Amino acid sequence: MQYNAVENTGMVALHGKGVAKGIAIGRALVMGAALLEVNHHLVSAEDIEYECHRLEHALQTVAEDLDYIKNNLPDDAPIELAPLLTVHSLLVADPLLASETKNIIRVRRYNAEWAISTQGQMLSDQFAQMEDEYLRERASDVNQVIERVLSVLSGVKSFDIQNLPTHNEDDLPYVVVAHDISPADMLKLREKHFAAFITDAGGPTSHTAIVARSMNVPAVVGMKNVRSMVNDHELLIVDGEAGLVLINPSPLVVEQYRSKQRQQEAEREFILRHKDEPAITLDGIAIDIEANIESPEEAKMAIEMGAAGIGLYRSEFLFMNRDSLPSEEEQYEAYSSVLKIMGDKPVTIRTLDIGSDKTLNNEATVAVNPALGLRAVRYCLANPDMFMTQLRAMLRASAHGYLRILVPMISHLHEVTEVKRYLLQARQELVAEGYSIGEKIELGAMVEIPAIAIAIEPFLKELDFVSIGTNDLIQYTLAVDRVDDEVVNLYDAVHPAVIRLIHNTIQAGDRAGKMVCVCGEMAGDVDYTRLLLGLGLKSFSMHPQHIPDVKQIVRHSHTNTLKTKVAATLNYGEAINLNMVNAAV
């Protein structure tokens, strides 16, 4: 987080990661964090079993509370909340959490609060070391579950949501300031008069960010120590697009932002009225705008936001936070439910994408460099029984719609050959067993390793389509971890090397007559929409909430003009000038 004191005004400007757009003006409501204030002390030998009993009671209480919340969600609750609450329920019910924490109590003689926070930190650290950003963000789920357990153990709620007044004395809404916010607490906050979220922790794929986008609530996360910078009831302005928080703004600044707020709300209403219209450019080029989802429930949101299909269905959620692998039947039910919802629209399911730093049965492993280790397709090919189960479930589900199978982290052509061999074997087995297989099945690969982007032509001969994962492509091309604060300034989506790799892939796809999609964050960021159109992209996939905005940009863009602008910029050998590209229509 960066902060600046504005001279002569008393206003302080804080900068974090804007993850849900919009402007909010309200009074700060600062949430406590039990995890940060846990009482540490050693217990006597005779009190060890009592502490274990306290732990068991707290875990059971939290489990029951989460189940009650999940089973009593209001009809208009954000559709992401149920699967997010399920993740928390699975975490708190994990027998390893109880057994390992009890072991700490018995061996180290820590009190229950100290023991659960110690075990929670170990689990959180394991997730935080994962290469995949979505899985890495799950460290926040561990912390949120531990927070709930600590609240029960201590008998003190970190934040008494139920007794919040419905409004401030000056009728301004609340801006919630917290270390992090659990999905269960977000549901309760939703019932109150609040306007935005600001958190110390989190990133673009954290649950706070996901739910905030679903609820259309401005949010700025990853601010590190914002709770220590803001006092209860201080006046705040939150700009979720710029990632900006203003503390104690002057009346003039408040009025400027109120005007901007009214303008944004009017624009948003207009965009949403046209969300179901096709995305066709001014020069008549049809653009496919599809959705990225993480659970079957999100497919409904994709339809509501006007998606032309599912461009990326991450299958990881079925595998995580459990002691056993999901069965073929469980996977079939999940995949087929999405295909049924989408009807004749394409559904792209990505095969399991997991890193080598933690296996699926919760047995930690040691990798010298997890980012370059046994990940994604490498992991699947090294575990053929697991891979075959997933492929069988996908092929069975294909009977209900238009299936695309997407394989992550392909770097060698023989990996494509191996995947095809397993697919053929799975198909033959299923046919012999009497199952129906869909007629429309396509096989594609993620372009996220520079090697495949550079030598794309032979891959396109063997594949039906490719999907560019810009998040990893940028990281691998520039050797920069974008969540590492010390080098994040080097993470550059418009670096010439990155743009050339994207351009090369799109051009090769056009020559081969194969679809090229971009499903990374660039696809859903309107700042890059015209750049990607200028590079020749005709297929985007993004979070459902971003679809109406990207469609609006597409409908007001002229691709030939953009191609000329982008081509001229590519010749400079420097970073793309986005302002110049976005000025062209």
**Annotated catalytic sites, by residue?**
207, 519
Q: Are strands 235-239 and 23-30 parallel, antiparallel or unpaired?
A: antiparallel
Secondary structure element (H or E) that encloses residue 140, with its range: helix 139-154
Token readout for 371 is 């980012």
User: Cα(198)–Cα(177) distance, rounded to whole angstroms?
Assistant: 5
Token readout for 424 is 């053929």
Ramachandran angles phi, psi of 140, nearest 5°: -65, -30
Nearest CA to 214 out of 480, 19, 463, 422 is that of 19
Secondary structure element (H or E) that encloses residue 426, with its range: helix 413-432
CB 226 within 8 A of CB 200: yes
Hey, CA dihedral for 579, 526, 450, 413, is it positive or negative? negative
Nearest CA to 445 out of 474, 416, 472, 423 is that of 416
Amino acid at 381: L
Strand stretches in 343-386, DSSP E: 346-350
Residue 149: CA count within 13 A, CB half-sphere: 31
Hey, CA dihedral for 204, 209, 212, 213, is it positive or negative? positive
Helix, strand, coil shares, percent, the chain, to 5: 50, 15, 35
CB 183 within 8 A of CB 145: no
**534-566 as b/e: b if 16+ CB within 10 A:** bbbbbbbbbbbbbbbbbbbbbeebbbebbeebb
**Alpha-helical runs (H) found in 241-311:** 251-273, 297-304
CB 35 within 8 A of CB 120: yes
